[in-house]
Chains A and B, each alone.
Chain A
């Protein structure tokens, strides 16, 4: 997270679990309904201490609702969420001391300097005087902005503002850091810095980091992932384990009549070929052996063909039967993103 960071490679995803103790976060049967829409439909999972945990899902999948419940901003319809041993519904005050929250929306005051923003933040957590001063300088050093301490935040770049947000969330040394779509609006370099910093936090400070994201490639940086779709938990595990479960390769075929081709493949090869976005898609082991066979079998019908290792998107398709970004990913479910209303 230093401004001139040149490091590009990520450390290989560290061993997922530290000595497995009690989970730092325990979510049980969480249900949340708005009027007649079910945003969360019985979600349960654990997050281990010092884990980098991702909540992956398209807009409207319920991840923002889940984030708001974990950060005590919203009360769920039923179910429970415990963080560091405190109940998010019944003990929000005690729980709040143990979490740092970084919102997608900007929470720093642009009219205040970096130092003043953190000074203000520290007071909200009962920090004051020389101790607060020490912590502010320490955290500004860590996010590489100590030399901009006296500048108003409105003069900062997007990446620097995000680092101040992060500094705000970490000032009181929380055990759990919750981040909502933290890389939104950042350029690739700043994204890389951010993820690298989250990994450092996990490894050196043993902070449990929970990140919501709708970006597959970012989710790969997490130790473990919960994939949400329409309020349901559709997958839970390490990115490696999730993609491994698909087994083999993913083959995409383009044809003039994809439906007919899919039917033919199903009858001839007994594999589950489906049509998705006018392409025939199938998952098969040893895809390289299948390719010559299928081309031989339907001469002239196939216009193009690709073989790839499964990605998290394939995991999502495998579990839900539709694409991550389906066409009916419509304005209606985007409401989860919209800012609005009531504490």
Chain B
């Protein structure tokens, strides 16, 4: 079409690549979140409430049910609560995929010369940042539950929180991408994501569960996130597993979980369809 390039000024911009669009989608996700105060407060306060009320209640009701020796239940429940904050933030952030689709925002991104990988990366990293930030904010309560972190264990906690955030956000993206209603998304949360958390060792130790539940828990990748955090926070407390599983093995499991989820999200977003788009 050389005749046309003469007629029209060369206006096509240079390749946008992957990083710039991913950055800008990440930026929007973060800015948008912190401009909605109610979301920020809700995502911190509800698990905090949950932790104190449920933790205190369980702690006194089921003394024998304590997982880890003489550990107080509020202490035991602490890493699980952190994972809950991460889960809620990650999942609810990805609800924006559905909102973006129902508004025209996602359409305007899809018709831009942006690789789908950039869209997935930007969205997922945006959600990851928010989820990890909210989770790490919760760490300010750690002195009250007797957690003493070294610089090394703090670094590993940050890494674990990041991996869990990334994997759960990618999972949320993969669930939200084919959906067109937030109601359906809520159904999935109740049916699938809450059980995922309940069976992660957040509430009760794996070793104390009945056998078939135990296998479900070992199959749940989130279990390794909770276990890694608990090991890092309470190095002296016994493992909640019924067999020895090292910290590096837990973190490696999380890395694989995160990669798998991202791959799944990418594969879903990369389909072009002949169906009515948005």
Q: Number of contacts between A and B (CB, 8 Å)?
A: 159
Within 8 Å by CB of A340, from B9, B11, B114, B278, lies B278
B205 in the interface (beta carbon within 8 A) = no
B190 adjacent to chain A (CB < 8 Å): no
Return the contact of B278 from the options A22, A123, A124, A343 (Cβ within 8 A).
A343
List of B residues within 8 angstroms of A101 by Cβ: 107-108, 111
Q: Report chain B residues within 8 Å CB of A108.
A: 105
Tell me the chain A residues, 168-198 only, with Cβ under 8 Å from chain B: 168, 172-175
**B112 lies within 8 A of A105 (CB):** no
B:100-121 near A, CB below 8 Å: 101-115
- CB of B271 within 8 A of CB of A127, answer no
Given contacts A336-B276, A342-B277, contact A128 B180 (CB under 8 A): no
Contact assessment for B16 and A116 in the assembled complex, using a CB-CB cutoff below 8 Å: no
Within 8 A of B (CB), among A93-127: 93-94, 96-99, 101, 103-109, 111-112, 116, 119-121, 123-127
Chain A interface extent, by class: 35 or more
The secondary-structure label for the interface of chain A is loop
B31 CB–A CB distance under 8 Å:
yes
B273 contacts A by Cβ under 8 Å: yes
**How many angstroms between the C-alpha atoms of A343 and B3 in the bound complex?**
33
B244 CB-CB contact with A under 8 Å? no
Q: A124-B24, A125-B112, A342-B271 are in contact. List 14 more A-B contacts (CB 8 A).
A: A49-B7, A73-B111, A99-B111, A103-B104, A107-B103, A116-B31, A120-B25, A123-B21, A124-B112, A126-B14, A172-B13, A173-B9, A343-B106, A343-B110
B residues in contact (CB < 8 Å) with A: 1, 3-4, 7-9, 11-17, 20-21, 23-25, 27-28, 31-32, 35-36, 101-115, 178, 180, 269, 271-278
Task: Spell out A's residues near B (CB within 8 Å).
Answer: 21-22, 24, 32, 34, 49, 65, 68, 71-77, 84-85, 92-94, 96-99, 101, 103-109, 111-112, 116, 119-121, 123-128, 168, 172-175, 206, 335-336, 338-343
